[in-house]
Each structure stands twice: as C-alpha cells, then as structure tokens.
Structure 1
Amino acid sequence: MAQAIFAGGCFWCTEAVFRDVIGVSNVESGYIGGATPNPTYKQVCSGNTGHAEAIRVTFDPDAISYGQLLDIFFATHDPTQLNRQGNDIGTQYRSAVFPLDEEQQAETEAGIARAQADRAEPVVTTIEGPAEWYPAEDYHQEYWEGEGQRNPYCLAVIPPKLMKLRKSFANKVKA
C-alpha cells in the first residue's frame, strides 16, 4: 500500500471522490502545510494557521498508479483557482499536492504539466512539503456518506464531481 496527500478545496468534497476510486482502501480528511500544531477545524477555517484542508489517500499501486490519482485530482477540482474552490475562499482551500518522496515529486510535476496541457488558464496548484499531517476531527471523516447527504453545500458540490469522475474515469470507479 502507498499514500498520497492532495488538497483541492473542501476535504468533504475531495474525500467523496476518492472513496469511489478502485484501488483506494482509505481516505482520511485532515490538515497539512501550516504552522499550528494539532489545529482544529475552527482554527484552520479562520485561515490563520497556514494549513490546507486535505485528504490522505491509501491506495494499492498495483490497482491504480499515483499518476492516475493525480489525473483524477486535477479533473475533479479547479486547479486554476488561487486559494479557493468555488465559494470556499482562503489559503485553507488552496490546490496543493504534498509528495511523500522524490518519485511522487517527479510524478506531481508531470501531473501538473498534463493538467496544464488541458487548460488555457494557468494551473496554480502548488507542490508543498514535507509537512506534518493532522487528521481532522472524527465528524469530518466519511462525511458525504453520513451528514453530507443532508448538507445543502455538499449536495450542490459533490454530485457534479462524482459525475465527472464516473464520466472521465469510468474504468477506475468502484461498482
């Protein structure tokens, strides 16, 4: 098993996408890239800690490659928006990748180049790290499967992301 860390706006929304990907065994929401140790959701939402809302994906590289995960990441959020995703504004919603080794670093650079080739606007996704990972509070984990399906924000944002995943990566979606 391997891990990847992506920040693409609201972690509820990115977590929902990656839970549906073949080869992914776990997705954990959390915080990374800031200065405050053990930040809380409220602290991160203030925009003052420097952390991004992110997901840590545990995956089987024999079933899906890191590069394929990057392609899904870039296709299911807008990597051209600086410090925001839709109505979520602030550095905590930035588009960023946190490579865990030199191989992931090189693959992330190639993934950004692929994402840029598909767009006219500049991709502003940053490559950051190394940085300490802090799991989000329990109520944020598997949010879409529970509370999220009653949350108007999630109902507006997540289904279009899932539709894009199923349309663009049909062979990588769990049944």
Structure 2
Amino acid sequence: MAQAIFAGGCFWCTEAVFRSLAGVSAVESGYIGGTVPHPTYKQVCTGTTGHAEAIRIEFDPDVISLADLLDVHFATHDPTQLNRQGNDIGTQYRTALFPLDDEQRTEAEAAIARAQAERSEPVVTTIEGPATWYPAEDYHQEYWQGEGQRNPYCLAVIPPKLAKLRKGFAEKLKG
C-alpha cells in the first residue's frame, strides 16, 4: 500500500471523490502545511494557521497509479483558482500536493504539466512539504457517506464532482 496527500478545497468534497476509486482502501480528511501543531477545524477555518484542508489517500499502486490519482485530482477540482474553490475562499482551500518522497514529487510535477496542457488559464497548484499531517476531527471523516448527503453545501458541490469522475474515469471506479 502507498499513500498520497492532496489539497483541493473542502476536504468533504475531495474525500467523496477518492472513496469511489478502485484500489483506494482509505481516505482520511485532515490538515497539512501549517504552523500550528494539532490544529482544530475552527483554527484552520480562520485561515491563519497556514494549513490546507486535505485528504490522505491509502491506495494499492498495483490497482491504481499515483499518476491516475493525480489526474483524477486535477479533473475534479479547479486548479486555476488561487486560494479558493468555488465559494470556499482562503489559503486553507488552496490547491496543493504534498509529496511524500522524491518519486512522488516528480509525479506531481508531471501531473501539473499535464493539467496545464489541458487549460489556457495558469494552474496554480503548489507542491509543498515535507509537512506534518494532522487528521481532522472524527465528525469530518466519511462525511459525505453520513451527514453530507443532508448538507445543502455538499449536495451542491459533491454530485457534480462525482459526475466528472464517472464521465472521465469510469474504468477506475469501484465495481
């Protein structure tokens, strides 16, 4: 098993996408890239801790590659929006990759180049780290599967992301 850490806006919304992929065994919402040890959701929401809302994906590289995960990431959020995704505004919603080693850094650079080749606007996704991972509070985990399907914000944001996933990556979805 391998791990990857991506930030692309609200972690509830990105977690829902990656849970649908074959080869992904776990997705954890959390915080990374900031200066405050063990931040809380309330602290991160202020935008003053430097953390991004992110997801840590555990996956089987024999089933789905890091390159595929990165391509899904770039297809299901807007990597051209600086410090925001839709109505979520602030550095905590930035688009960023947090490679865990040099090989992942090389993959991240290649994925950004692929994403840029598909767009006329500049891709603003950053490559950051190394940085400490902090799991988000329990109530944020598997949010879409529970509370999220009753949350108007999630109902507005997540289904379009899942539609993009189904359209562009149907062969990568769990059976």
Q: Same fold by TM-score, threshold 0.5 exceeded? A: yes
Note the C-alpha offset of 1:35: 0.2
Structure 2 matches for 1:10-159, cutoff 5 A?
10-159=10-159
The 2-side partners of 1:147 and 1:118 are apart by: 35
| % identity of equivalent residues | 81
Provide Cα deviations, 1:61-95, integer angstroms capped at 9, x if missing partner: 00000000000000000000000000000000000
What secondary structure does 1:169 align onto? Answer: helix
In structure 2, how many angstroms separate the alpha carbons of the residues matched to 1:101 and 1:66?
A: 12
The one-letter amino acid of 2:131's match is A
Amino acid at match of 1:170: A
Note the residue ranges of structure 2 that are not aligned, 5 or more in a row: none
The letter of the residue matching 1:11 is F
Cα distance in 2 between the residues matched to 1:107 and 1:52: 20
Superposed CA deviations along residues 47-72 of structure 1, whole A, max 9, x for unmatched, are 00000000000000000000000000
The separation in 1 between residues aligned to 2:107 and 2:29, in whole angstroms, is 22
Alpha-carbon separation, structure 2, partners of 1:68 and 1:108: 11
CA RMSD in angstroms, aligned pairs only = 0.3
Q: For each residue in 1:7-54, what CA deviation from the matched residue of structure 2 results, as whole angstroms up to 9, or x when unmatched?
A: 000000000000001100000000000000000000000000000000
CA distance in structure 2 between the aligned counterparts of 1:62 and 1:7, rounded to whole angstroms: 23
Q: Which runs of 5+ in 1 are unaligned?
A: none
Calculate the TM-score normalised by the size of structure 1. Answer: 1.00
Cα displacement (A) at 1:143: 0.0
Instruction: Report the CA distance between 1:174 and its aligned residue.
Output: 1.1
Shift of 1:2: 0.1
2-structure distance, mates of 1:118, 1:173: 23
Q: Which amino acid aligns with 2:107?
A: E
TM-score under structure 2 length normalisation: 1.00
Structure-2 separation of matches of 1:66 and 1:145:
24
State the number of aligned residues. Answer: 175
Q: Which 4+ stretches in 1 moved above 4 angstroms? A: none
CA distance in 2, matches of 1:145, 1:54: 18
